Chains A and B, each alone.
Chain A
Amino acid sequence: MTRKPAVKAEAREGGAKGSNKIQRRPFVAELLSRRNGTLVIPGLGSPTWDCSAAGDSPEYLYSWGGMGLAVPTALGLALAQPSRRVLALTGDGEMLMGIGSLGVVAELAPQNLAILVLDNEHFGETGRQTGLTQGRTDLCKIAEGFGVRQTRLVTEHNEVADLAKLLFEIPGPTFAVAKIALSEDPWCLPEKDGAAIARRFQIAIGVAKS
């Protein structure tokens, strides 16, 4: 009996597996330069290093742990500060660990919340093991399935201006996935004292006094 060939995931919009082109560091730096006061909740690991590398800001809540909580934290903040735009900036593994939170986001639908997943299809921090988004998992379709109406798949660096509009201007909640290359970037480690990061953040947005 002949074995059937393994079923390959269908080619996605944006090219074949392993063809991600976007370089995360310049992409995130250019995106954040357009954030216009948006508060940023980066996920643990690489998205936090990306924010730090783009230039330190008290409006970034750097994270070194709590995998799966970037979107819930950004949601809580967005509901507490409806006049401020809030971006959850995370990775594909982190997003999947907290994937149900997209249902909560869709249900509450805060207009000031945006989510960007930097999707390199790997667990970059732990040894570059393959992640589920390299296979059949489609984060934009998942978000749509939860009821997040505005989604976008980004595969080219030159889409950054349109992406900035989606994340920083258009009434949310908005959700985007940027297919980024699996890259090795220099460490750029920010403050790791959580209470100090939080206090600096609260002072910057006027919730706490210095």
Chain B
Amino acid sequence: MTETGTAHWSEDVFREMKRRRIETVCTVPDGGLTRLLNMVKADPAMRLITLSTEEEAMGIVSGQWLGGKRAMIAMQSSGVGNCINAIGLPSILKAPCLMLITMRGQWGEFNPWQVQMGQAVRPALEAVGVKCFPVDKAAEVGETFVGAADLAFNGGFACAVLISQRVIGAKGFGQE
């Protein structure tokens, strides 16, 4: 059973990460992930790895799985485009590849430069075989994460939780 409705979806996700022995989180950060990434960083039993580009995570999670450990990536939707070819590695090895993605370029986006990639995230991921789990209610992020994580780690699949900009809130650039 998954409890939902804590003060913030990040707490639901963090609790389920701990339950599933996910010890390493790779990231190129996003504003919407700040709270979760801070929780990971503050936990002495976890490791936060800051990347230069998101595709590095595809190698790191594969290597972690080869060595018997569980890792995942948390990133902004724009990073998905950087990962496309690299997703082939965990997929061909049958290594679990769990992605937590905060969306840009959709709900109320201020910055038009984000829209092309943001709108392409799901079709692009599905084109390379990633199972997508979109979620647009904060209270459902935790259980959606559980569904994606269990599919990934039990079956060796690439799974992506797509957290809507509706949950995160559109970045206003001081113009609102």
Taking Cβ atoms with an 8 Å cutoff, the residues of A that contact B are: 41, 61, 65-81, 84, 98, 100-101, 103-104, 107-108, 194-195, 197-198, 201-202, 205, 207
Residues of chain A within 8 A (CB-CB) of B89 are: 65-66, 69, 73, 194
Cα–Cα distance between A104 and B27 once the two chains are bound (Å): 11
Whether A198 contacts B66 in the complex (CB less than 8 A), given A98-B56, A104-B52, A108-B49, comes out as: yes
Interface membership of B100, Cβ < 8 A: no
Cα–Cα distance between A202 and B62 once the two chains are bound (Å): 12
Residue pair A41, B63 in contact (C-beta under 8 Å): yes
Interface size on B, residues (CB 8 A): 32
Closest 7 CB pairs of A and B: A76-B63, A80-B67, A100-B52, A72-B59, A194-B92, A69-B59, A66-B89
Interface membership of B21, Cβ < 8 A: no
Whether A77 contacts B67 in the complex (CB less than 8 A), given A98-B56, A100-B51, comes out as: yes
Whether A207 contacts B93 in the complex (CB less than 8 A), given A66-B86, A104-B51, A104-B56, comes out as: no
Residue pair A72, B66 in contact (C-beta under 8 Å): no
A73's partner among B24, B49, B63, B69 (CB-CB below 8 A) is B63
For A205, give the chain B residue with the smallest CB separation: B67
A79's partner among B69, B88, B156 (CB-CB below 8 A) is B69
Interface membership of B25, Cβ < 8 A: no
Q: Could you tell me which residues of chain B, from 27 to 72, have a CB within 8 Å of some CB in chain A? A: 47, 49-53, 55-69, 71
